Amino acid sequence: MMTPSSPPLRPVSLREQAREAVRTRIVLGRIEPGEVVSVATVAAELGVSVTPVREAVMDLAHLGMVEIIRNRGFRVPPLSEHDLDEIFTLRTMLEAPAMAEVARSHDAGALVPYRALAAQITEAAREGDLEAFLDRDRRFHMGLLAMTGNRRLVSMVGQLRDQARMRGLQKLADQGELTDSAQEHEAIVEAVAARDADLTAELTRRHLAHSRGIWAGAPDPEG
């Protein structure tokens, strides 16, 4: 279920804010797969009218993150281990060579904000702030991939990210183990800065493998 303690949204871009609020809860597994959620209930929890939430849910349905249940609300479709394996395989195929290209061709000055983001991701992990962790993690990866100049690639990876579920994130945060995954971002950005394409690709593959374990509720795929 969505948490009742969600802060009211600011009266700016309510559709986008509602979409991000629901997206975050889905990725964190706070909305159980198969559970029918009322748009009116979500709107009340977020402190907005039903219109921006309804529009946000339609956006997420278009991305395949939810299924709309007529006259009842929406639900999150369940993901099998095979589904997660497919997502992991596709992301690895797309992101590892793309990040290698970023390492070869990036503008050194453009990495400054990503060093800062990498440090902020680690900070959020240490503090157990999962919303901040996910937000910074998304900005880090999507921003670096955008340096390829390939908008379709960025869009495809974004959709694949949204389709995964971080079922193990809360457990790792509670156990103080999320920091290990967070610190991988710092290693990736330094490999990019060194223009080491092979190392960047390898670190990206390892990071995605670690993430696949988190989706399964374990720190690594074998965990």
pLDDT mean over 146-150:
97
Q: Do strands 36-37 and 67-69 pair parallel, antiparallel, or not at all (unpaired)? A: unpaired
Q: Secondary structure of the chain in the HEC alphabet? A: CCCCCCCCCCCCCHHHHHHHHHHHHHHCCCCCCCCEECHHHHHHHHCCCHHHHHHHHHHHHHCCCCEEECCCEEECCCCCHHHHHHHHHHHHHHHHHHHHHHHHHCCHHHHHHHHHHHHHHHHHHHHCCHHHHHHHHHHHHHHHHHCCCCHHHHHHHHHHHHHCCCCCHHHHHHCCCHHHHHHHHHHHHHHHHCCCHHHHHHHHHHHHHHHHHHHCCCCCCCC
pLDDT (0 to 100) of residue 4: 44
Binned at pLDDT 50, 70 and 90, residue 8 comes out as low
pLDDT (0 to 100) of residue 212: 85
Predicted confidence (pLDDT) at residue 2 exceeds the cutoff of 70: no
More confident residue, 189 or 62: 189
Predicted confidence (pLDDT) at residue 37 exceeds the cutoff of 80: yes
pTM: 0.81
Residue range 106-117, pLDDT digits in tens: 998 999 999 999
pLDDT (0 to 100) of residue 222: 42
Predicted confidence (pLDDT) at residue 96 exceeds the cutoff of 90: yes
3 closest CA partner among 46, 65, 64? 46
Give the strands of the sheet with 73-75, arranged side by side: 36-37, 73-75, 67-69
pLDDT mean over 142-146:
97
Lowest-confidence pick of 22-26, 37-41, 91-95: 22-26
Predicted confidence (pLDDT) at residue 166 exceeds the cutoff of 90: no
CB 117 within 8 A of CB 139: yes
pLDDT mean over 145-153:
97
Give the mean pLDDT of the chain: 87
